[in-house]
Amino acid sequence: MLEDMKSYRQFKKGQAITYTGQDLKYLGTLVSGVATLSKSMEDGRRQIMGILLPSDFIGRPDHSTSEYDITASTDVLMCLFERSADAAPKPPADEQ
């Protein structure tokens, strides 16, 4: 099943991978390259929140939008897993 959902995508140095608040249609891991997680501050400055290296994960199964701007700091290759409606996390049975 995961094999059917998997694809690869390349991002060039400086290219946005995702923006804060953008819908994430996929979850993924960096296969190669380096990316930065950043946020815009109220005064217009940007704060780097983290550095992503190969094997680091982008996206969270329980969040469908990005919490950070993610930019390729070098050329990046990502392995992506497309989200699907039936793969969405389900609440525990006692909460349904």
| DSSP 8-state assignment for residue 2 | H
pTM, rounded to two decimals: 0.78
77 lies in a domain? yes
64 lies in a domain? yes
Cβ contacts of 34-38, under 8 Å, gap ≥ 24: 34/72, 34/73, 34/74, 34/76, 35/11, 35/70, 35/71, 35/72, 35/73, 35/76, 36/70, 36/71, 36/73, 37/68, 37/69, 37/70, 38/68, 38/69, 38/70, 38/71
CATH classification of the domain holding 71: 2.60.120.10
pLDDT in tens, 42-96: 999 999 999 999 999 998 888 888 989 999 999 999 999 887 655 544 444 454 4
Using DSSP bridges, classify how beta strands 69-72 and 35-40 pair: parallel, antiparallel or unpaired.
antiparallel
